[in-house]
Amino acid sequence: HDYVPERLPHRENEIRTLASILAPSLRGQKCSNVFIYGKTGTGKTAVARFVLEKLRAKAEEVGAPVATCYVNCRMVGTEYRVLTAMCSSLGVKVPFTGLAKAEVLSRLKKALSRRAIVFVVMLDEIDVLVKAHGDALLYELTRMGPELNGSKISLIGISNDLTFKEHLDPRVLSSLSEEEMVFKPYNAAQLRDILLERAKLAFVEGAVPEPVINLCAALSAQEHGDARRALDLLRVAGEIAEREGATRVSEEHVRKALKQIEHDRTVIAIRSLPLHAKLVLLAVYEMTKRSSSAITGEIYAAYSAICGRMAISPLTQRRVSSIINELDMLGLLNAQLANMGRYGRTKKIRLAIPRSLLKEVLAEEGLA
């Protein structure tokens, strides 16, 4: 997320729209709060940071009373640390821990009241904050205007999760989405332009032939037009070519890169699961040794037996069913509804990842 390119192909309209929403701040006026959403790798963060940086530079150039702040809510993790990041961008020192949240909020208000500025705050991955801590902080931030003695605060919320709005109090939602921007996925031709642009910057001329760019673009367009994935693919293919001592990146390097990225992504996904989800995976692994799939009841019995061996309490069958659905959505399991005649409906479950890889990761964690 840290690299913001100088040019953002195929996002010129979004840049213009966001810039025009934020422009009133240069005249000392509050700009509308903006809610930006779209899937991962659609350029939301890059565009928002690009515009925020241009706004900061312009304000400095013309002496406009504008301060800006970018916070990635997933990285900082807590409401307290979102507030400390906002304080520190105003030059207010707050200890990393130890104060009450209300005290940090009060210091933020005081700092703003003293300065009569427009404070533009970008909350990236705002859905992570709301899901973990509720929307109380957003409520405070959208309501604090009248207490700021001439200062104004404008929020830009960014999310990849469209359903996240359902978690918000209607008052917060109406304040936060005074303006809404939706970023659509890139298509293969647009991804190609983005890759060409980056290849010029990151590779020696002629090191990345056109078919390689086209393949990276086509593979990433299949996966909902994710530019970050396309750029990762090109970068990893370049690293593989370099390791092999090749002077040019080939389509074969791209295919190897795809395998490596899939492998790494799967390993990270398994490692970051809660314990019981790992045990459900282990149960599926054990139950599909002899047949390709198993039904929910068999998985639950195997899972309960594993819990027994480890002397921990099993979760209910209902909870395990919902874990199976979550693992299906993560692409680690394949769960298909099956009709068992007079026994009703159940799910046929099989692994969606290589058995050897699952065994290797679970063994590293002392589970298999």
Which residues have a Cβ under 8 Å from the Cβ of 87 and sit 6 or more positions away? 93, 94, 104, 107, 108, 111
How far, in Å, are 97, 245, 271 from residue 278 at the CA level? 33, 39, 8
Report residue 68: phi and psi, to 5°: -125, 155
Exposure on the CB side of residue 364, measured as CA atoms within 13 A: 9
Euclidean distance between CA atoms 212 and 255, whole angstroms: 10
Q: Quote the tokens at residue 202.
A: 């990151």
Taking 50 as the pLDDT cut, the residues of the chain under it are 1
pTM over 0.85: no
Angle at 358 between CA 352 and CA 364, to 5 degrees: 160
Provide the pLDDT for residue 343. Answer: 60
Contacts of 52 (CB under 8 A, 6+ apart): 22, 68, 70, 120, 122, 156
Q: With beta carbons less than 8 A apart as the criterion, state whether 232 and 191 touch.
A: no
Q: Which residues of the chain are in CATH 3.40.50.300 domains?
A: 12-182
* pLDDT value of position 340: 63
Backbone angles phi, psi at 248, to 5 degrees: -130, 150
Answer whether CATH 1.10.8.60 is correct for domain 188-270: yes
What residues does CATH 1.10.8.60 cover in the chain? 188-270
**Intervals of CATH 1.10.10.10 along the chain:** 273-364
pLDDT reported for residue 3: 61
For position 367, what pLDDT does the model report?
A: 87
Q: Which architecture characterizes domain 12-182 according to CATH?
A: 3-Layer(aba) Sandwich (3.40)
CATH C-level class of 273-364: mainly alpha
